[in-house]
């Protein structure tokens, strides 16, 4: 997918933005609080119907407005899709090719969008939910049909948890256990296959950058590998009932990222953590590119230089410029990006108080009135 044109109305401080981005690389330069992250957030919303900063989408509506509207025309595999999303204080409406979409998943399957921002290092450093989200993104886009399996699992967990909370008899609750065990093994197999497919892509990037340690992945499936899920569900019955939640299952899984047998987060420096987590995401995009060559993805990079030295920054830029994704990248200072060295179709924009204008395309400066 490549965004061919984009219109943003009343999204945070972006009241009236209309632009035609470059197919490959778009760089947005602007001062603090000019609207750079807001711009990336608007694109992310077009691909997911949510924000990467807040769970409260109504916050995204401009303070002076009742709703925001986003519109884009994308080229996916040679077909043009117009996509429109509007959000008022109550709800979100999504239209794809003049038809109302029934779910955000419909949007996501059309617009795979990945973000690298100063929070990306949380993928390594913080709790399992960050890594679960990372795996789910990849599995959703690469293993089509997985969504149905995961929805089935969520449905079973919801029923089981409701039964626990309502103090159903043990026997009545056990009817959900068998269904959970079956779907869990299916999910674990798909996730395992995905992470093993992904690892070589990430390690290739690690070796391209140089001077970084090789990674190892293993999946914690959501219960100890040495244990049988059925026995565990039975043994944890009393605690599950007390807490009203199922403690073991694929909803509790994690991706273990290791270096020479140690947890990666305990080994690497802060800057290395930043670049490695960025490479994890680039690896996902590369795997997606190879699995579905006709698909184009979007890569949003917010504040690239943050905590990366020049060597890592250049290495990352080199990988980004050869990526097939359409890239939108922000920076407060264009000197961090050696634009003249970019051997790729690109466009540079200036962001100022919520207004976005073209400064240069492929090194040619555009005259402004």
Ligand X SMILES: Nc1ncnc2c1ncn2[C@@H]1O[C@H](COP(=O)(O)OP(=O)(O)OP(=O)(O)O)[C@@H](O)[C@H]1O
The residue within the footprint of Mg ion, chosen from 37, 120, 246, 272 (CB under 5 A), is: 37
Nearer to Mg ion, 106 or 119 (CB): 119
Per CB under 6 A, contacts with ligand X among 332-361 are 332
CB 222 within 8 A of CB 232: no
Binds 35, which of ligand X, Mg ion, none (CB < 5 to 8 A, cut-off by type)? ligand X
- Give min distance, CB of 220 to ligand X, in A: 34
DSSP string, 226-249: TS-HHHHHHHTHHHHHHHTS--SS
- Give min distance, CB of 238 to ligand X, in A: 47
- Give min distance, CB of 349 to ligand X, in A: 12
Residue 302 CB partners (closer than 8 Å, separation 6+): 36, 37, 40, 115, 116, 117, 118, 329, 330
Helix (H, G, I), strand (E, B) or coil at 199: helix
- Residue 152 tokens, joined: 């089935």
- Give min distance, CB of 12 to ligand X, in A: 4
- Give min distance, CB of 164 to ligand X, in A: 40
Q: Does residue number 34 form part of the binding site for Mg ion (CB under 5 A)?
A: no
- Give min distance, CB of 340 to Mg ion, in A: 25
Nearer to ligand X, 13 or 323 (CB): 13
Instruction: Report d(CA 209, CA 52) in Å as an integer.
Output: 27
Binds 38, which of Mg ion, ligand X, none (CB < 5 to 8 A, cut-off by type)? ligand X
Instruction: Report d(CA 269, CA 308) in Å as an integer.
Output: 11
- Give min distance, CB of 305 to ligand X, in A: 11
Nearer to Mg ion, 37 or 273 (CB): 37
Axis-axis angle for helices 310-322, 170-209 (nearest 10): 100
Nearer to ligand X, 34 or 72 (CB): 34
Residue 40 CB partners (closer than 8 Å, separation 6+): 115, 117, 300, 302, 328, 330
Q: Dihedral of CA 200/205/207/212: which sign?
A: negative
> Could you tell me which stretch among 32-40, 56-64, 99-107, 108-116 binds Mg ion (CB under 5 A)?
32-40
Instruction: Report d(CA 269, CA 282) in Å as an integer.
Output: 20
Axis-axis angle for helices 128-142, 170-209 (nearest 10): 80
Per CB under 6 A, contacts with ligand X among 18-77 are 30, 32-38, 59, 61-63
Nearer to Mg ion, 35 or 283 (CB): 35
End-to-end CA distance of the chain: 32
Nearer to Mg ion, 38 or 253 (CB): 38
Chain residues binding Mg ion by CB under 5 A are: 37
Binding region for ligand X (CB under 6 A) = 12-13, 30, 32-38, 59, 61-63, 332
């Amino acid at each position: 997918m490549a965004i061919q044109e984009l219109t943003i109305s009343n999204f945070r401080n972006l009241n009236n933005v209309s632009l035609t981005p470059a197919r490959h690389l778009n760089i947005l330069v602007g001062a603090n609080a000019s609207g750079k992250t807001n711009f990336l957030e608007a694109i992310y919303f077009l691909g997911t119907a949510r924000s990467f900063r807040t769970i409260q989408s109504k916050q995204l509506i401009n303070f002076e407005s009742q709703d925001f509207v986003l519109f884009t025309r994308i080229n996916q595999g040679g077909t043009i899709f117009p996509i429109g999303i509007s959000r008022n204080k109550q709800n979100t409406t999504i239209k794809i090719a003049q038809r109302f979409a029934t779910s955000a998943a419909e949007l996501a399957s059309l617009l795979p969008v990945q973000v690298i921002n100063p929070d990306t290092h949380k993928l390594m450093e913080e709790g399992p939910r960050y890594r679960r989200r990372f795996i789910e993104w990849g599995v959703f886009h690469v293993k089509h049909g997985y969504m149905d399996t995961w929805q089935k699992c969520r449905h079973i967990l919801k029923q089981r948890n409701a039964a626990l909370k309502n103090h159903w008899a043990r026997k009545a609750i056990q009817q959900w256990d068998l269904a959970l065990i079956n779907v869990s093994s299916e999910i674990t197999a798909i996730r395992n296959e995905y992470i093993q497919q992904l690892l070589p892509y990430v390690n290739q990037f690690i070796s391209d950058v140089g001077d970084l340690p090789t990674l190892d992945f293993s999946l914690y499936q959501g219960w100890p590998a040495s244990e049988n899920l059925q026995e565990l569900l039975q043994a944890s019955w009393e605690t599950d009932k007390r807490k009203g939640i199922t403690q073991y299952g694929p909803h509790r899984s994690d991706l273990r990222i290791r270096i020479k047998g140690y947890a990666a987060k305990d080994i690497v420096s802060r800057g290395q953590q930043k670049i490695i987590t960025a490479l994890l995401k680039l690896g996902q995009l590369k795997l997606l590119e190879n699995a579905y060559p006709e698909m184009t993805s979007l890569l949003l990079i917010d504040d690239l230089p943050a905590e990366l030295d020049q060597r890592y920054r250049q290495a990352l830029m080199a990988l980004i410029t050869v990526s097939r994704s359409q890239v939108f990248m922000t920076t407060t200072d264009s000197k961090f990006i050696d634009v003249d060295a970019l051997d790729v179709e690109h466009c540079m924009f200036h962001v100022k108080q919520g207004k976005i204008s073209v400064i240069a395309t492929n090194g040619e400066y555009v005259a402004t009135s």
